[in-house]
Structures are given as C-alpha cells and as structure tokens.
Structure 1
Amino acid sequence: MKKRHLTSALALTTVAALALVGCASGTTGTSDASGDKPAGDKGTITLGFLPGWTDGLSTAYLLQDQLEKMGYTVEMDTLTDAGPLYTGLAKGDVDIYPSAWPEVTHKKYMDKFGDKIEDLGKYYDNAKLTIAVPEYTKIDSIEDLKGNADMFGGKIVGIEPGAGLTEQTQKHMLPEYGLTDEYELVTSSTAAMLAELKKATDAKKDIVVTLWRPFWANSAFPVKDLKDPKGAMGEPEGLHFLGTKGFSEKNADAAAFIKKIKLTDEQYGALEGLVTSDEYKDKSADAVDKWISEYADQLDWLQK
C-alpha cells in the first residue's frame, strides 16, 4: 500500500465525529403490498459498520457495490462501537456486519449473541492487534515499556472503550507485562487516537497507541509495531462477514456470493488505501469502482 497524505487522518476524524451524532439503526424503504420487500427489487439489506474502523468501511462499500449489482437496495448504518453493532445484528436491525473479528477480539460478543448471528464466511485471515510507537522512538518491544513510562506521560492512547482491542490491552497486555501500575490506558474513539498520533508524530514526540492490522494508519503514519514476545495481544485471526440469523434463508443468492469473497494482503491494502485516500474523500463508491478496475482479473467472485 502506498503512503498517503496525513490529511486522510483528519478526514476520517470528521467522518467518525459525524457518526457519533448521526448513528441510527434499522432499515427504511418503500415496501410492497406484502410488507416483506421494497417494491421492484430483491429487498433491502442493511450494512452496519464503524466509520473509524476502516476494514469495515472498505468492505461495506465493496458489498454495497456488489449487492446493488445483484438487485438489492443497500442501506448503510453507521454506529460508534462494537457492542451496539452486535446488538443490532442479533436483533435484526442490521443485516450484515461486513468486517467482524469474531475469533478472538470480538469473542465476548459472539459468546453473548452467537446464537442469533450467522457466519457468512472469512474473507481475510491475517488480522492482528498491535501496540505501536513512532519509528523514531527508541524502544522495539512491549517489554521495553516497563520503566519508561515517563517517555509517554504514563499513558497508552487507545480507541473505543467497548472495542476488543481495548479489552485485550487492559486485561491481558498490561498485566502480563507488569505495566498496570505504570500506565493508564486512555480510551475515547479511533478518531481521537488518530488525532493524538498525528499531533505527536508531527512534533516528533514519543507516543504509544493501540493499533491493528490491516489498518491504513500503519502506512499513513511513521509507526512501528512493538514486538510482543509474550503473545499478550493474541494471535492473528480472521476477518468475517456476519449476518443476522436467517439471512441466508431470506437472501440465499447474496449469502452464497458473500461466502466466496477472499482478499489477499495486497488486494485488501489497495481497497482500504483507495477508500481512505484524499483523492476519493466522500467518494467511496468511486474508490471501489477504481479498485475493481485494477483487480478484476484477480477476483473470480466479482459480479460483472
């Protein structure tokens, strides 16, 4: 993935801020006489995602493009945390979560709601949670954080309180490395974390943040993952498409198509890079079209 201008971070901050005040759930649309589906098409599918988590942002727009080509009306429902998203999925207010981490990071939500959720397939198998610092910071391992709290003001800058990354950091990484008494994990939002990361790296100051891969910020900012010799941040896991229970029965062709989707590191990075780039700001559909034009010959699952 190519380096992008850091203004992408600010653009995403704006999107996430809007999501905080524009959050909604459920579907809308004009139904036919039976009340089951909107008139004149296959029905409405609602995609629920967090704008600040650009794995889901990217695949949401990819699914919108492909499902609309199949004849569905697609609605985009932006939420602000994983908990409400899984709740909406379990209740049927959201039909698809287009980039879930159900194996480890979101396991607690799957334990709670799994019997009301369908797994529509794993599309990527190398996602991981990380602790990161700027490239110029003179430590290379999470172990090196111990005794160096003054470098970072005693703070690790995190994301949303309900994120699996937050829980993994708080309940596993900090105690396993003996950092609980030295560091405070500061949580708010992905957008706020990115703003702090930009401020620090612009000033060449030290900062430690919670990050993950794949995520465009790893290329947009001069950061490096800290080594994790204890494996406290967990093993790499798969990213899945999740559907509300009964989705496959109601939308068999859509479910069958979604289960075929697979993305390599290169393909995924290119998609996320275009969707979050300055060039395609507020034009995510155009970004997907550009990506499809570049990778169509590699993707035998695409709707033509």
Structure 2
Amino acid sequence: MSRRMFGRRQVVALGAAAALGLTLAACNPDNPSADGDGTDETSAAEGGGDKGTITLGYIPSWTDGLSTAYLLEAKLEEAGYTVEHQELTEAGVLYTALAQGDVDIYPSAWPEVTHASYMEEYGDQIEDLATYYDNAKLTFAVPEYSEITSIAELPDHVDELGGRIVGIEPGAGLTEVTQESVIPTYGLDEAGFTLATSSTQAMLAELESAVSAEEEIVVTLWRPFWANATYPVRDLEDPEGALGEAEGLHFLATDGFAEEFPEVAEWIGGIHLDDEQYGALESSVVNDNPDDPAAGVAAWLEQHDDVVGSVEG
C-alpha cells in the first residue's frame, strides 16, 4: 500500500497525540514560506514543488533537530523539493508520526541510547539514513561555582538543592534514563530527590534564574546543546555510567523513503559534522538568529556549504 494514500499529509499524528494525551503543534508559524494548509507557496512559485514534498518532524526546543531541519530545508528547496515542517512536543508522538508516514524525516534522532525504547517499538517502520554526528551524550550539570563534582555526591547536598533535579519534557529519552537508571543507581529517590519535569524552556529558565542568584541547582542536559556554552555549567561525573555511553545523532526516515527519494537519501547519507561544524551551526541558528532559523542556516552555509554538498538528481 502506498505511503501517500489516505491523505498522509493531514496531521494523522493528532490522533496519536490524543491517544497519548499529548499535543501536536501546528506547522511552524515562524516559517514565512508555509501557508495555512501546509503548502510552500514560495518554493512552488520558484518551481520547487515538482520533485515532491518532504515533511520534517522535530521538537523545536531540542535545537539539534531545529538546526538540522532548517539545514535540510535549505538544501532540499535549492534542489527543487517542497519542504513542510511539523513541530511536535513529545518524542513519542514524533516516533509515532514517523512510523506511520505522517512525517518523512526526523532530522536529529538519538536512537542508540536515549530513544532506544522508541526504536524497539517502531524500528521496523523506520529507515536509518545516516549518523551525522557521533559524540552526543546525556548529562547532569551544575553551575561552575558549585562544589558538587559527581552525581554520586548529590545525596550529600539534597537540602542545598531543595531535593529537586530539574528536568525537561516527561516523554524525553533523557527523562526516561534519569527515572529508570540514574535515580535508582545512585539512590537519589531514597536520599529525598524528585525529578521535576516540564519542558526544556522551563528547565533553562530555572537554570538562568539560579545562576543569576548564584544558587545551587542540578539540571538534566545533553551534548551537543547550545546551553552548555551559554550558561556557566559543567557536567557532573557519572562513575556508574548510568546515563549511558556517547551515541550518534541520526537522520531517521519513514519506511520506504529511500525508495521514493533515492537522491535525497544518498545525499543525507553523506552528511557528517564534527564538533566545530555542528557547534557553529547551532550557534548561528539559536544564538545569532533566534527568531529566524533559516537565516541562521544561510549564514552557516556561507562558510560551510562544501561540508553538506548538494542533492543530485
């Protein structure tokens, strides 16, 4: 049965979101190229719609996905494809949409460790196109002025930290690893800690407030992520390895994508960013152009266009 049947461009993931009690965000309102029905008038006007439409799904507060989504958009539209964005709020909904074909590409997935449970559930409906970055890792972090150096020391500082580990979205892989591995491994629940989950933005707001007041705080973070350079934080040691090993960031696609778009799959398979290249990309998008990710990517491509090349065919 064709992936394109039954109106796959309608946001079927809404049904999955309702079933999971989660929310699917609308198409990116900051993308001026997208009109109300999700079509890309600018690209179509430039003759960009004749090679087909590719939908990118990501969680915008996880800025690795935001940055790489706009990077893919820039090069795909240059090659004559129409690109749509679906901004989602939870990893579970994103993997469901990817597996069902409502999203074509998840442009920055963590399938090896962080999202391993989603891959166990949906892996046979997903294609792994490439690993574009190979040194991603989950962390616990504290401000640089803190005397805490290891997760193992946290029980000795429960009162200073108010018994709180400040986390991100409830459905995030980092949240799952924290709840199921880090907390029991280090006895943090027995010591009196709870994990406070809400959103990445809320976590960063608490971090910024604590740093401004030079107060103690411990947050769940990850690398690569722009916040590590923006805020004066350092990773805590994880002597038991409860957060897992370093892993790769992948471009994942819905099953059948490479057959439908072989030139795109081949091009994506050749993308690999090192620390400097990735750091410059995310900084340009998040820090230099916070209100215009496309402009951030354009600025980065002026210096790194040869790194990603172009879609052939």
Under a length normalisation based on structure 1, what TM-score does the superposition of the two structures give? 0.87
Partner of 1:23 in structure 2? 25
Query: Matches of residues 18-167 of structure 1 in structure 2 within 5 Å?
Result: 23-24=25-26, 28-29=38-39, 40-167=49-176
Provide the rounded CA distance (Å) in 2 between the counterparts of 1:300 and 1:79: 26
Partner of 1:206 in structure 2? 216
Shift of 1:175: 0.9
Partner of 2:297 in structure 1? 288
Shift of 1:88: 0.3
- Structure 1 unaligned blocks of 5 or more: 1-19, 31-37
Shift of 1:281: 2.4
Is 1:301–2:277 an aligned residue pair?
no
> Which residue identity is paired with 2:212?
D
Query: Matches of residues 218-297 of structure 1 in structure 2 within 5 Å?
Result: 218-277=228-287, 279-297=288-306
Shift of 1:28: 4.0
Provide the rounded CA distance (Å) in 1 between the counterparts of 2:305 and 2:290: 23
Question: Match of 2:118, SS?
Answer: helix
Q: Which has the higher contact order (CA 8 A, sep 6+)?
A: 1
Tell me the C-alpha RMSD between the 2 structures.
Answer: 1.9
Cα deviations by residue, 1:185-243 (Å, 9 ceiling, x for unpaired): 01011111011111111111110000000000001111000011111100000000000
> Which residue identity is paired with 1:301?
G
Partner of 2:34 in structure 1? none
Provide the rounded CA distance (Å) in 2 between the counterparts of 1:52 and 1:131: 18
The correspondence for 1:186, drawn from 187, 192, 196, is 196
Shift of 1:147: 2.0
> Which residue identity is paired with 1:111?
E
Provide the rounded CA distance (Å) in 1 between the counterparts of 2:234 and 2:38: 43
Provide the rounded CA distance (Å) in 2 between the counterparts of 1:123 and 1:161: 26
Contact map agreement 2:140 2:236 (CA 8 A) in 1: yes
- Runs (4+) of structure 1 exceeding 6 A deviation are none
Provide the rounded CA distance (Å) in 1 between the counterparts of 2:292 and 2:91: 25
Shift of 1:280: 1.2
Shift of 1:283: 1.6
Provide the rounded CA distance (Å) in 2 between the counterparts of 1:155 and 1:149: 8
Partner of 1:171 in structure 2? 180
Provide the rounded CA distance (Å) in 1 between the counterparts of 2:55 and 2:26: 11
Question: Match of 2:75, SS?
Answer: helix
Shift of 1:302: 4.2
> Which residue identity is paired with 1:283?
D
Matched positions, count: 275
Shift of 1:151: 1.0
Cα deviations by residue, 1:135-194 (Å, 9 ceiling, x for unpaired): 001111111102210011000000011111001111111111111122100101111101
Provide the rounded CA distance (Å) in 1 between the counterparts of 2:127 and 2:189: 37
Partner of 1:14 in structure 2? none
| Higher mean displacement: 76-85 or 172-181 | 172-181
Provide the rounded CA distance (Å) in 1 between the counterparts of 2:160 and 2:111: 35
Under a length normalisation based on structure 2, what TM-score does the superposition of the two structures give? 0.84
Alignment identity in percent?
Answer: 59
Provide the rounded CA distance (Å) in 1 between the counterparts of 2:268 and 2:133: 13
> Which residue identity is paired with 1:218?
N
- Structure 2 unaligned blocks of 5 or more: 1-21, 28-36, 41-46
Partner of 2:227 in structure 1? 217
